[in-house]
């Protein structure tokens, strides 16, 4: 196998195993920062050895074995250097854990699930909300600081500093590696839900790279959401999140063409939508809405977004979509979580319900929003509305600008094609 092929395989293995590896190491070391460093050390060893020896049959277990041996070496050095009784006892305890005969055992856990524990640790109240989300996206989804920065529409340096401070705080506060008891779990739930959905979103529409979708991230987020629903069966927003992810995941196969090119919602072959996921999503949405009503609570933002997704799901064709209802749901969502991105989506819905001119008027109000300055979907949406109004020269300029702003290769290619169509006098 060529070196480049091995490197690609290592990259694929790392994306799959990174989160479980860090979670398993955190359980053993009780320190998130150390766990991430050990995982990175194991990756470096793999990059050095696997091009010569080939990728092992169980690459995750191989990485865990290397990482835990490095951890054990650190503990032994600390034992010799410090001679602390408490450290000696902990070293012996961890050494027994690390000496498990099967490295796979260190990657797996019972129904408690190491990954879910790690999310709750990263979402501990000692951290600011923004830090909780950024840290978990780094540890669980394996996103780079650049990818997280684009997801947050913030500077990469800001995200990097936030993550470093978060790991330091968790270490200083000695936050335990556990799913907290019910009262504490409720306090952290909103951040946990946000984190899981951001992981799903990165899989549903990748911020960078040469693939428009990363299904493995969607699957991981769905798995975590379903586990969380089992832990909090009476919490409406948990089921709202699951509903939203199930309904959106049902479209994954239809979102890309034969060559991996993006296919936009209105152009998708709805026969390719996954009917099982749709049934599961609609059932979860019904449960979320029923629970909220029984508890005399308004549906939360995730449940409202699930209701939005359900509007598309229930429409047999794109022309059957109830855009007036979607406009109303975006209005409700804007009340719950005011955001320029929500307003941009509402403008798209308004354009579909009442015409592109009405939508463009709303979009033009958002052009001065600082949070959307680097958001490529703003010029992309504006280009689409201008094209529908026949203003193709202006539309082409907007598509070109959007293409220059996105880090996703597939999305850039789509925007370039749309700009070229406008230049040729064709509707994109």
Q: Which phi and psi angles does 209 have, rounded to 5°?
A: 100, -175
Rounded mean pLDDT of 101-113? 47
Rounded mean pLDDT of 368-397? 96
The helix/strand/coil state of 74 is helix
Sign, Cα dihedral of 14, 18, 24, 25: positive
Among candidates 221, 251, 290, 287, which has minimal Cα distance to 19? 221
Mean pLDDT of the chain: 87
Inform me whether the pLDDT recorded for 83 exceeds 60. Answer: no
**405 vs 120, more confident:** 405
**75 vs 296, more confident:** 296
Structure token pair of residue 419: 């700009």
Rounded CA gap, 197 and 192, in Å? 9
Rounded CA gap, 221 and 141, in Å? 9
Rounded CA gap, 109 and 102, in Å? 13
189-217 pLDDT tens trace: 888 898 899 889 988 998 877 888 988 88
Rounded CA gap, 93 and 74, in Å? 14
Among candidates 345, 321, 304, which has minimal Cα distance to 270? 321
Give the pLDDT of residue 108. Answer: 46
227-244 pLDDT tens trace: 889 878 999 999 999 999
Give the pLDDT of residue 106. Answer: 45
**125 vs 270, more confident:** 270
Inform me whether the pLDDT recorded for 55 exceeds 90. Answer: no
Inform me whether the pLDDT recorded for 75 exceeds 80. Answer: no
Give the pLDDT of residue 375. Answer: 95
Rounded CA gap, 385 and 358, in Å? 10
**Confidence band for 89, pLDDT divided at 50, 70 and 90:** low
Q: Say if CB 335 and CB 329 are below 8 A apart.
A: no
**Confidence band for 104, pLDDT divided at 50, 70 and 90:** low
Rounded mean pLDDT of 267-294? 97
Please give the CATH topology (third level) of the domain spanning 334-428: 1.25.40
pLDDT above 70 coverage of the chain, percent: 90
The helix/strand/coil state of 408 is strand
314-349 pLDDT tens trace: 999 999 999 999 999 999 999 999 999 999 999 999
Rounded mean pLDDT of 168-179? 88
What are the start-end ranges of the E strands in 85-237? Answer: 208-209
Q: Say if CB 200 and CB 143 are below 8 A apart.
A: no
Give the pLDDT of residue 31. Answer: 83
Among candidates 190, 214, 201, which has minimal Cα distance to 151? 201
Q: Please name every residue paired with 407 in a beta bridge, in sequence order, or none if there are none.
A: 208
Structure token pair of residue 59: 């690459």
Structure token pair of residue 195: 């984190």
Give the pLDDT of residue 107. Answer: 45
Structure token pair of residue 247: 């309904």
Q: Say if CB 383 and CB 364 are below 8 A apart.
A: no
**397 vs 38, more confident:** 397
242-251 pLDDT tens trace: 999 999 999 9
**Confidence band for 15, pLDDT divided at 50, 70 and 90:** confident
Angle, in degrees to the nearest 10, between helices 114-122 and 129-139: 150
How many other C-beta atoms are found inside a 10 Å radius of the C-beta of residue 321? 19
Buried/exposed code over 49-75 (b: 16+ C-beta within 10 A; e: otherwise): ebbeeebeeebbbbbbbbbbbbbbebb
């Amino acid at each position: 196998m060529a070196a480049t092929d091995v490197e690609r395989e290592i990259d694929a293995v790392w994306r799959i195993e990174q989160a479980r590896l860090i979670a398993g190491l955190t359980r053993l070391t009780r320190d998130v920062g150390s766990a991430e460093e050990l995982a990175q050390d194991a990756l470096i060893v793999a990059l050095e050895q696997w091009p010569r020896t080939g990728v092992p049959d169980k690459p995750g277990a191989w990485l865990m074995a290397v990482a835990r041996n490095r951890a054990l070496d650190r503990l032994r050095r600390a034992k010799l250097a410090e001679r602390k009784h408490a450290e000696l006892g902990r070293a012996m305890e961890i050494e027994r854990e690390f000496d498990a005969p099967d490295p796979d055992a260190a990657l797996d856990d019972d129904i408690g699930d190491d990954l879910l524990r790690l999310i709750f640790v990263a979402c501990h109240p000692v951290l600011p909300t923004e830090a909780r989300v950024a840290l978990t996206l780094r540890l669980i989804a394996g996103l780079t600081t650049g990818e997280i920065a684009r997801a947050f529409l913030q500077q990469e340096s800001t995200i990097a500093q936030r993550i470093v401070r978060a790991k330091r705080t968790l270490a200083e506060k000695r936050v335990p590696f556990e799913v907290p008891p019910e009262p504490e779990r409720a306090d952290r739930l909103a951040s946990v839900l946000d984190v899981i959905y951001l992981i799903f979103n990165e899989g549903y529409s990748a911020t960078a790279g040469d693939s428009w979708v990363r299904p493995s991230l969607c699957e991981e987020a769905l798995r975590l959401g379903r586990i969380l629903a089992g832990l909090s069966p009476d919490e409406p927003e948990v089921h709202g999140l699951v509903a939203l992810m199930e309904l959106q995941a049902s479209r994954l196969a239809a979102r890309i063409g034969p060559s991996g090119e993006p296919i936009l919602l209105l152009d998708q072959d709805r026969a390719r939508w996954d009917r099982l996921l749709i049934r599961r999503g609609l059932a979860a949405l019904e449960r979320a809405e029923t629970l909220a009503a029984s508890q005399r609570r308004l549906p939360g933002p995730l449940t409202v977004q699930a209701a939005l997704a359900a509007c598309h799901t229930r429409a047999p064709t794109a022309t059957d979509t109830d855009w007036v209802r979607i406009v109303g749901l975006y209005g409700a969502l804007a009340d719950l979580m005011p955001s320029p991105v929500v307003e941009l989506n509402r403008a798209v819905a308004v354009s579909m319900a009442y015409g592109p001119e009405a939508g463009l008027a709303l979009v033009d109000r958002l052009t001065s929003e600082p949070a959307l300055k680097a958001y490529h979907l703003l010029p992309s949406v504006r280009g689409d509305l201008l094209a529908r109004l026949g203003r193709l020269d202006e539309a082409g300029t907007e598509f070109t600008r959007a293409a220059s702003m996105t880090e996703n290769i597939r999305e850039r290619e789509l925007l370039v094609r749309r700009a070229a169509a406008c230049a040729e006098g064709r509707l994109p």
